[in-house]
Structure 1
Amino acid sequence: MSRAPRLLQLIEILRARRRPISGQALADELGVSLRSLYRDIRTLQGEGVPIEGEAGVGYVMRPGLTLPPLNFDVDELDAVVLGLRFVERRLPDGLGDDASRALAKIATILPKGRSVEDVQLLVGMPETGAAKTLDVIRAAIRTEDAVTIGYRDAKGEATERTVWPVVVGFFGAAEVLAAWCELRQDFRNFRLDRIVRLDLAGRAMERRHRLLLADWRLTFEMDEDC
Structure 2
Amino acid sequence: MRRADRLFQIIQILRRSPRPVTAGDMAGELEVSVRTIYRDVADLIGQRVPVSGEPGFGYILDDAFDMPALMLTPDEIEAAVLGAQWVAGRGDPVLAKAARDLIAKITSVVPEHLRPFIADPSIGAPFLFRQAPDGIDVARTRTWIREGRKIRIGYRDERGDTSVRVIWPVIIGYFDEARMLAAWCELRQDFRHFRTDRVTSAEFLEDRHGVRLGVLRARWKRSIDARLSARAASSRG
**What band does the TM-score fall into relative to the shorter chain?**
0.5 to 0.7
Q: Which residue of 2 aligns with 1:114?
A: 114
Report the residue type matching 2:128 in the other structure: M
The one-letter code sitting in structure 2 at the alignment partner of 1:143 is E
Q: How does 1:37-116 map to 2 (within 5 A)?
A: 67=68, 70-74=71-75, 76-91=76-91, 93-115=93-115, 116=118
- Asked whether the 8 Å contact 1:94–1:131 carries over to 2, the reply is no
State the 1:47 CA deviation: 5.2
- Give TM-score, length-normalised by structure 2: 0.61
* Structure 1 consecutive aligned stretches of length 4 or more whose deviation exceeds 4 Å: none
Q: What do the CA deviations read for 1:9-39 (whole angstroms, capped 9, x no partner)?
A: xxxxxxxxxxxxxxxxxxxxxxxxxxxxxxx
Matched residues, number:
162
Equivalent residues in 2 for 1:1-226, closer than 5 Å: 67=68, 70-74=71-75, 76-91=76-91, 93-115=93-115, 116-120=118-122, 121-128=124-131, 129-130=133-134, 133-220=137-224
Contact 2:168 2:183 in 1 (8 A): yes
* 3-state DSSP of counterpart to 1:215: helix
Aligned-residue identity in percent:
31
In 2, are the aligned partners of 1:95 and 1:131 still within 8 Å (CA)? Answer: no
> How far apart, CA to CA, are the structure 2 residues paired with 1:179 and 1:68?
36
- 1:157-215 residue CA offsets vs partner (Å, 9 max, x unmatched): 11111000011112221111110000000000001111111121231114222211011
Tell me the distance in 1 between the aligned counterparts of 2:174 and 2:69: 34
Q: Report the Cα offset of residue 92 of structure 1.
A: 5.9
TM-superposed deviation, 1:131: 9.2
C-alpha contact 2:92 2:139 (8 A) present in aligned 1:
no
Amino acid at match of 2:178: A
Residue 56 of structure 2 corresponds to which residue in structure 1? Answer: none
- 1:110 is aligned with what amino acid? V
Q: State the SS of the aligned residue for 1:148.
A: strand
CA RMSD between the two structures: 2.7
Contact 1:90 1:126 in 2 (8 A): no
**Aligned mates of 1:148, 1:184 — CA distance in 2:** 14
Structure 1 residue 132, shift from structure 2 partner:
5.9
Q: Aligned pair in 2 of structure 1 residues 212, 88: CA closer, same or farther (>3 Å)?
A: same
Q: Deviations over 1:60-89 (max 9, x none)?
A: xxxxxx936532233x22221111111112
CA–CA separation in structure 2 for the residues paired with 1:95 and 1:72: 25
Take 2:177 and 2:223, find their aligned partners in 1: how far apart are those partners?
Answer: 24
Structure exhibiting the larger radius of gyration computed from Cα positions? 2
Give the Cα separation in 1 of the matches to 2:135 and 2:104.
21
Structure 2 counterpart of 1:30? none
User: Hey, what's the Cα distance between the residues in 1 that align with 2:215 and 2:153?
Assistant: 22
Deviations 1:135-176 (A, max 9, x none): 121011111100011111001111111000011112221111
The one-letter amino acid paired with 2:77 is L
Do the aligned partners of residues 94 and 69 (structure 1) sit closer, same or farther apart at CA in structure 2, a change above 3 Å counting?
A: closer
User: Which amino acid counterpart does residue 108 of structure 1 have in structure 2?
Assistant: S
Structure 1 residues 198 and 92 mapped into 2: Cα distance closer, same or farther (>3 Å)?
closer
